[in-house]
């Protein structure tokens, strides 16, 4: 192996190239010749013919286990079912035919027996009537013999055919003659016409039906505020709340997963505000509904409101105008103080000078004048101060009368929870509430 490597290494590059090309051509030619030899018919005939594998997992035909086989089995089952149905139908028809034939045979036997009994009774009655024409008791006894003895076999079976029932009495003999002397002693009452009248039933619509609607405690009425509210926060607000209208939009949720249809009913609620929590608290006052038949229901209700956050009351915006009024009162007070700074007060003085009148010796009194520049300044300052004081008092009084409010917008979702269950009974005719518990 080492010598071959050395010999190849000693060859020139051109010789190596020719050697590689020659070796490649030799190998390719050998492979092509071998392939052509295998492609001849003689070579193919020498190979053993192996059967093609049709089923890998089973020796059976896979199509026999596929959809075609299932469809074929289904068709075979349907054909078998139809054949069974036809067989059962034929058997049922045969059974009904046999039963019908048995009934017809039984009816024929009953009719024959009945004809025989009727003939025997007629003959006996005729003989009795001829032998006892003067005996009333015999006539009665003969009349009793007209009633045949009941055959148990005849009583057990009956027929529903109108023709068969009509044929039973087609061959009845004429009634036997009755002795008028025998009936003379009997008291005969003239036939009377019996009049049957149905009692007039009371019309339920005219009766005053008591209808009742019950809402137990803990029930939830969900709705939307139709009108908003500016809930006052004054001292009298809770005793005189502001009204608001609620429209119930869903069914009332009752205890134990029950529901009551109070949709589109109206609820009047009163509310007031609270400064500490900035919420408006609402209490339901009255609820009104109109049923599908026009029945009107209006009744008081006790319930409190909860907001979207699940807490009692509705959170709103606190609006207060007292700050503006207090600011104006403060401004008026400051201006009053500034006006008092320009006030001039008169200082009392004693005049010791003497005046003479007309250059004579007569002495004239000296008077102080009030209408000078200082007096006018004092009057203006005092007037402005008094006016500003009155303005400040007015603003303070207005601030005392004005109280903050909690703004609640309309179209907010509100849930009212019933505090006390109520049962309203009302009259369907008068449409007035009769009793409220």
Give the residue-averaged pLDDT of 140-146. 49
Cβ neighbours for 432, distance < 8 A, ≥ 6 positions apart? 426
Domain spans of the chain, in order of start = 69-168, 210-320+406-436
Rounded distance, CA 144 to CA 247, Å? 84
Give the residue-averaged pLDDT of 32-52. 64
Give the residue-averaged pLDDT of 115-125. 86
Residue 302 has what pLDDT?
A: 93
pLDDT-wise least confident of 112-121, 143-152, 349-358: 143-152
Rounded distance, CA 316 to CA 306, Å? 13
Backbone angles phi, psi at 41, to 5 degrees: -65, -35
Rounded distance, CA 217 to CA 256, Å? 12
Q: Please provide the distance, in angstroms rounded to a whole number, between the alpha carbons at the two ends of the chain.
A: 121
Residue 431 has what pLDDT?
A: 44
Residue 345 has what pLDDT?
A: 64
DSSP codes of every residue in 261-283: --TT-EEEEEEEEETTTTEEEEE
The closest alpha carbon to 406, from 281, 236, 246, belongs to: 281
Q: Confirm whether pTM is higher than 0.85.
A: no
Residue 267 has what pLDDT?
A: 95
Decide: helix, strand or coil at residue 258: coil
Residue 226 has what pLDDT?
A: 95
Query: Does the structure show a pLDDT above 60 at 53?
Result: no
Architecture of domain 210-320+406-436: Beta Barrel (2.40)
pLDDT in tens, 323-351: 777 777 777 777 777 776 666 666 565 55
Give the residue-averaged pLDDT of 170-199. 57
Q: At what angle do helices 373-401 and 322-341 cross, to 10 degrees?
A: 170
- pLDDT band with cut points at 50, 70 and 90 for residue 29: confident
Q: List the 210-215 sheet strands across, edge first.
A: 210-215, 422-427, 433-436
pLDDT, averaged across the chain: 74
Q: Are 412 and 235 in contact (CB under 8 A)?
A: no
Residue 155 has what pLDDT?
A: 41
């Amino acid at each position: 192996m080492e010598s071959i490597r050395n010999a190849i290494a000693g060859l020139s590059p051109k010789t190596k190239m020719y050697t590689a090309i020659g070796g490649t051509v030799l190998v390719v030619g050998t492979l092509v010749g071998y392939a052509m030899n295998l492609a001849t018919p003689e070579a193919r005939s020498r190979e053993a013919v192996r059967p093609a594998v049709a089923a890998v997992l089973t020796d059976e035909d896979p199509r026999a286990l596929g959809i075609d086989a299932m469809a074929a089995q289904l068709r075979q089952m349907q054909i078998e079912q139809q054949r069974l149905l036809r067989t059962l139908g034929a058997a049922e028809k045969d059974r009904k035919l046999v039963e019908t034939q048995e009934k017809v045979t039984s009816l024929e036997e009953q009719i024959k027996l009945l004809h025989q009994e009727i003939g025997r009774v007629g003959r006996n009655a005729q003989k009795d009537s001829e032998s006892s024409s003067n005996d009333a008791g015999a006539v009665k006894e003969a009349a009793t013999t007209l009633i045949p003895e009941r055959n148990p076999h005849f009583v057990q079976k009956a027929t529903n055919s109108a023709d068969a029932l009509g044929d039973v009495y087609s061959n009845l003999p004429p009634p036997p003659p009755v002795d008028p002397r025998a009936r003379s002693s009997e008291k005969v009452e003239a036939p009377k016409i019996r009049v049957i009248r149905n009692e007039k039933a009371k019309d339920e619509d005219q009766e005053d039906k008591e209808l009742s609607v019950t809402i137990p405690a803990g029930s939830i009425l969900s709705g939307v505020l139709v009108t908003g509210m500016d809930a006052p926060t004054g001292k009298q607000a809770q005793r005189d709340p502001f009204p608001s209208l609620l429209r119930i939009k869903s069914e009332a949720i009752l205890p134990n997963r029950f529901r009551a249809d109070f949709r589109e009913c109206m609820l009047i609620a009163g509310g007031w505000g609270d400064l500490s929590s900035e919420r408006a608290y609402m209490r339901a006052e009255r609820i009104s509904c109109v049923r599908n038949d026009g029945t009107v229901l209006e009744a008081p209700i006790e319930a409190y409101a909860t907001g979207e956050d699940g807490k009692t009351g509705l959170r709103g915006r606190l609006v207060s105008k007292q700050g503006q009024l207090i600011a104006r009162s403060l401004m008026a007070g400051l201006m009053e103080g500034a006006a008092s700074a320009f006030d001039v007060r008169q200082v009392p003085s004693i005049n010791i000078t003497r005046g003479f009148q007309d250059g004579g010796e007569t002495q004239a009194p000296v008077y102080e004048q009030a209408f000078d520049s200082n007096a006018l300044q004092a009057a203006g300052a005092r007037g402005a101060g008094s006016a500003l004081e009155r303005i400040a008092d007015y603003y303070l009084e207005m601030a005392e009368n004005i109280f903050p409010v909690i703004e609640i917008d309309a179209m907010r979702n509100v849930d009212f929870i019933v505090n006390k269950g109520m049962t309203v009974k009302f009259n369907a005719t008068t449409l007035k509430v009769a009793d409220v518990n």
